[in-house]
Structure 1
Amino acid sequence: MQSDKRALLCAAHALEKKASDVRLLDVRKLSSLTDYLLIATGRSDRQVQAIAEGVRLGLKQEHQSLPLAVEGMNEGRWVLIDYGDVMVHVFQPTVRDFYDLDGLWREAPELEIPAEYHWERKADAR
């Protein structure tokens, strides 16, 4: 699977679990570690865990794609899912603010996530 497709699928699965402030950053020109970073927020430890598990299970069940590593699932404050070409970061709001990956990678172009994936936009349209 191409890395941009995997990144968009990760975003779609995170948004299915009501992740907020989801950003998909193209870091190919800035990092040799990965191609894309997905940064998302959950309101509680349970929601962070549910978002991360939704991404992991969605890619496993639909595309037989397994992560290389998953960190932080037990605590649910910051979960990292490493697919090699895509790294998914799911944070609680205060942890996201503290580590400021958005600021650290501010030079990275942001990929547009299709509007139909965004639960916030669907709710606004009603």
Structure 2
Amino acid sequence: MIAAAAAEKKARDIVLMKMVDLTPATDYFVVCSAGSTTQVRAIADSIEEKLQEDEGIGFMHKEGYREGEWVLMDYGDCVAHIFLQDSREYYSLETLWGDAELTAYED
């Protein structure tokens, strides 16, 4: 649902990272990119609205919304990471968590 909500706002390079057995903090990361801080916030808003309205699921924690360079939304079993493209390349979560199984999201 997170990946689909991000795709609705034209998020780029959406990847699901299976974090089971790599960290006790969560089971999955959903990582995506945006071209502007406005789009980063729009993607975060879309995820929040879809999960809350359609499923009654609220996030546990959200960081970075004001700055709009990297928004992290913690839903417990899944953590969404919405990056400006430059920030995504800099932090490189896919490399940092290189043992994670990656699946590209296809909408």
TM-score by shorter chain over 0.5: yes
User: Matches of residues 67-86 of structure 1 in structure 2 within 5 Å?
Assistant: 67-86=59-78
Which structure shows the higher strand fraction? 2
Give the counterpart letter for 2:4 in structure 1.
A
Greater Rg by CA: 1
* Cα drift, residue 105 of structure 1: 1.5
* Cα drift, residue 112 of structure 1: 5.1
Task: State the partner residue of 1:63.
Answer: 55
Task: State the partner residue of 1:50.
Answer: 42
Which secondary structure does the structure 1 equivalent of 2:41 belong to? helix
> Please, which of 91, 100, 105 is the counterpart of residue 108 of structure 1?
100
RMSD in angstroms over aligned alpha carbons?
Answer: 1.0
Q: Distance in 1 between matches of 2:46 and 2:101?
A: 25
TM-score (norm 2): 0.95
Which structure shows the higher helix fraction? 1
Task: State the partner residue of 2:2.
Answer: 10
Which runs of structure 1 show a deviation greater than 4 angstroms over 4 or more consecutive aligned residues? none
Unaligned regions of 5+ residues in structure 2, if any?
A: none
Does residue 28 (structure 1) correspond to residue 20 (structure 2)? The answer is yes
Question: How many percent of aligned residue pairs carry the same amino acid?
Answer: 36
Does residue 41 (structure 1) correspond to residue 33 (structure 2)? The answer is yes
- How many matched pairs? 107
* Cα drift, residue 106 of structure 1: 2.0
Q: Distance in 2 between matches of 1:73 and 1:108?
A: 26
